[in-house]
Structure 1
Amino acid sequence: PVGTTVTIYGTGFSATPASNVVKFNGTTTTVLTASTTVLTANVPVGATTGTISVTVAGTTATSAAIFTVGTGSAPTLASFSPAVAGYGATVTLTGTNYDTTPANNRVAFAAAIGVVNTATATTLTLPVSASAQTGKLSVSTALGQATSAQELFVAPSGVIAADIQYTGRITVNGPTVAASITTTSPPIRADLNYFIVDARFLLPSG
């Protein structure tokens, strides 16, 4: 519906939102956020069903698929399980207004797209894709998009998801974060995965 935030995936976008011109079947909208591979924009007033185009520095790319401007309700994402999963593990998303045709639901693990295996109006299941990253999940249908409040922690290769007792984020030069775990077989191993802005960490037992 009009006003729904849509995520557009591709390449060659400008990281400056205003430098990307996005049109829904010819109707221009304002880009909200931008990276070189992902844009977000709201469906503008006056938009009709059709293709989505992105123009950057005079070069235009147009979606192969048709975007439907519907009158129904956008999806919601109330929860997902498990909270920690390894590559290939099945994740179940619970919410409302999903398309009962699996392929019509687009689920992203942060920026990595997954393939939905089963779908009902309230539940989706899919495996964690090989390129998935720790982060929030999002679900898109023809009627809109929803993003999870919590993050899915994707266990690094070689780490068993069931062994992870605690996950969290620490900000470089930020406040102290206390983690409490239970172990019956010391020593405890702490694995730290550092990123540019923050550090994501896990504490497996054993």
Structure 2
Amino acid sequence: MAISRLFRRAADGSLDFREAWYEEYDDDAGTGQFVINHGAVGNLSTTQDVKDVDQETGAGLLAAFEAQCAEDGYADLPETEQFWAIAQWPVKTEGAYAERLKETALTVLTGHLAWRGLGTLEDATYGTGTLNLHVLTPDPKKVVTAIKTAVRENNLDLSKLRIAVAPFGQKDALKQKHPTPPKPFTLD
């Protein structure tokens, strides 16, 4: 079952999120858990779950969650209102080192960003001598800080990391945000 991820902008401009999903257990019992995750975008969220529910109950809980969110003013955030953040590391080839870096960075960033409502990793590509992780995010400023924090906390090489952001649909307008001073940034 897919994740339902919804956002609401407060009067002060801050962004809150709520997300929910049903996940079946790996056993063959046909049950799973329904999870709700919510909080302010950029801050570690609060999680609640209901264990040992069947798929039909999970679908019902998801429908009720979406109805309550709509009543509370939460809605999908269209991609056109989001931004791209690209985390880029230099790699000489697409060999074993690059694959280990890619897998580790994907794991680290997926969890770190998701639990803060800061976006999803949409793609991982190789440019000429680079590994590029493409993050779709609702908040370009907070995601840069979060990426640097996740990289530092998980002993990935922060000194070689470059981060750039651009509005959705304008990847050709990427502007480097880390490190400073900014330099030209390309995905090639």
TM-score when scaled to structure 1? 0.29
TM-score when scaled to structure 2? 0.30
Computing the radius of gyration from Cα coordinates, the structure with the larger value is 1
Give the structure with the higher percent strand: 1
